[in-house]
Structure 1
Amino acid sequence: MGSALMGARQHDGAPCAWDEDRRALLRADLDAFYARAYGLTRDELRYILDPADVKGPDYPSETFRVLKEKEYRLYNEYRTRRLVLAAWDRMEADGEFTALGM
């Protein structure tokens, strides 16, 4: 236990700079990975991110309304949805899911 950390080097420099765009991409990668790890299909992930995207604009259910509204104000789009699905598509096309046995 802990042997993996034994050879790890300690960081002694300044803290890493905060990069909101990079964090959004990393979160999208993790969301896509975990959705696939839990056995979801791309369409099921689309439904979770935005049910109206799958069922139509009159569908009465929402999942991440506050996030979606915030991102429309900031970016004129539901950025999280786009980034997560793009990460899924990239991992699928690059064979990352297959390489991980998913």
Structure 2
Amino acid sequence: MVGVSRNGPPFTWDEGRRTLLRAQLDAFYARAYGLTRDELRYILDPADVKGRDYPSETFSVLKEKEIRQHGEYRTRRLVLEAWDRMEENGEFARMDM
């Protein structure tokens, strides 16, 4: 970016921080596009909204990978937690969202 500078060493790679930031961005953009929390839930995991027998998965590869690695569909949880936090602390309201 033009006119933006930062002094100091590069940021240290932090996978956990990156995961949380990505979840916050996902929640922000979902709200910016006018989605409700339930619509976001449906996008992240249709079976969570429609029931276990629902025949479609949006992010099946990611979901299966995270369940293997973390014992849960972590992205879904983190994005919805970020949404709830931004709603509760007034961030969405401050951004007129």
TM bucket by the smaller chain?
over 0.9
Q: Distance in 2 between matches of 1:70 and 1:80?
A: 11
The residue number in structure 2 matching 1:58 is 53
- 3-state SS in 2 of match to 1:62: coil
Give deviations 1:38-63, integer Å, cap 9, x for gaps: 00000000000000000000000100
CA RMSD of aligned residues (A): 1.1
The residue number in structure 1 matching 2:91 is 96
Q: Distance in 1 between matches of 2:85 and 2:27?
A: 10
Q: Distance in 1 between matches of 2:14 and 2:8?
A: 20
Pick aligned residue for 2:20 from 22, 25, 42: 25
Amino acid at match of 1:100: M
Q: Highest CA radius of gyration, 1 or 2? A: 1
Pick aligned residue for 2:82 from 80, 84, 87: 87
State percent identity of aligned pairs: 73
Unaligned segments of structure 2, at least 5 residues: none
Q: Distance in 2 between matches of 1:86 and 1:41?
A: 14
Q: Distance in 2 between matches of 1:39 and 1:61?
A: 23
Pick aligned residue for 2:63 from 45, 68, 74: 68
| Number of residue pairs matched by the alignment | 96
Q: Distance in 1 between matches of 2:42 and 2:6?
A: 42
